[in-house]
Chains A and B, each alone.
Chain A
Amino acid sequence: MSKTNFDSNDANNSLISSKCNSNQYRREIIDELKKVLTPYTENKELLRSINEQTNLLTDLKINSANLVDVIIDAESKYSIEIDLASAEKMTNVRSCIDVIVEKMNFKK
């Protein structure tokens, strides 16, 4: 497990600029999620083609022990705090996006 370096300013600016378009907003989060998931995903080709239905464990084969890393990396990237109840839901891309959007909105 290696730590990913993040540029949170870029991520925040990008999200703010696209907040009027929720589909675009979610697509941008998927692009950022790909960077978060990269250190924990063996199949990089599959990672490039993820969509909201992609399951982190069964499709991307991310080891369950690395899910905690993914959550912590997402917290760091978006400067949010993900509580345990929300973290439990983050097993597929859709739920990851939902949690990130919810916590970003809570921050505003």
Chain B
Amino acid sequence: MKSIGNDIVALKSINKKRTKQILFYSKILSVSEQALYYKQGFEELSFEKFVWLLWSVKESVYKYLKRSVPDLVFSPTKIIIQRIELPYRQTITKFGSTQWENKGNESCENFYRGIITFGPYTFYFRSKIHAELISTVVNDGENFENIWWGIKSIDDAAYNDQSKEVRAFILNKLNSTLSGCNDNLSIEKCPLGYPVVLKEAKEMDIPVSLAHHDHFIAYSFLSKNP
């Protein structure tokens, strides 16, 4: 299956107090994932960041699968993170710039990463965690070489502006990356609810995933070009 899924969480918009309540996190984390936090002993990752890291991974898996399973219902506790590997540098720093873009050839040691299972499916994730945000991309293989990924902070957090900004952000990258596009690409939401790239009204074979939350937007897409 050729797909992609991403998510972003603006940490200033989460309710830290509620996140730490079992009533809340037990609706997101499975029992094994709750145990994973204490078993693995994360030094820099607070429990609330752990909960939202796993949320962003699960949401990304859901978006990945939605493309091929349109009737899929989001069931966070059924998408299970089996293992988490820590980045080489665990210190959580500020995002520190207005945007970050990457083609998946950056060393995996710079990311939180791990393995997820959902029924018969296995997925792999990479996540960036900063003081202000958690951003995740999910793939069905360990190789992220052809995955493009971008994160940007925006001034206006109104929903329609977030949506417009993230489309402009990915189109700018697609137009500059893909040869022969000449700025004639557009992003539309298909009837099943996921975004598609159109070139002169024809759908391109490039899976894309978009995410926005508060003052942060993020895209990911799968392409071997250039």
Interface residues of A (CB under 8 A from B): 1-3, 42-43, 58, 61, 63-65, 68-69, 71-72, 75, 84, 87-89
Contacts and interface: CB of A to CB of B under 8 A. Distances in A.
Interface of B: 9, 13-15, 18, 23-24, 27-28, 52, 55, 59, 73-75, 77, 158-159, 193, 213
A44 to B, nearest CB: 13
Contact of A68 (B13, B28, B73): B28
A50 B18 CA distance: 27
A33 B77 CA distance: 25
A69 B15 contact: yes
A108 to B, nearest CB: 23
B133 to A, nearest CB: 13
B159 A69 contact: no
Contact of A87 (B15, B27, B52, B213): B27
A1 B14 contact: yes
Contact of A84 (B52, B59, B75, B158): B75
A2 B159 contact: no
The secondary structure that dominates the B interface is: mixed
A42 B156 CA distance: 13
B14 A88 contact: no
B12 to A, nearest CB: 11
Nearest to B59: A64
B23 A72 contact: yes
Contact of A65 (B55, B77, B159, B193): B55
Contact of A1 (B13, B59, B158): B13
A71 B77 CA distance: 15
Given A58-B193, A63-B213, A88-B74, A3 B27 contact: no
Contact of B27 (A42, A58, A72): A72
Given A58-B193, A64-B74, A84-B75, 9 more contacts: A2-B15, A42-B158, A43-B159, A63-B213, A65-B52, A65-B213, A68-B28, A69-B15, A88-B75
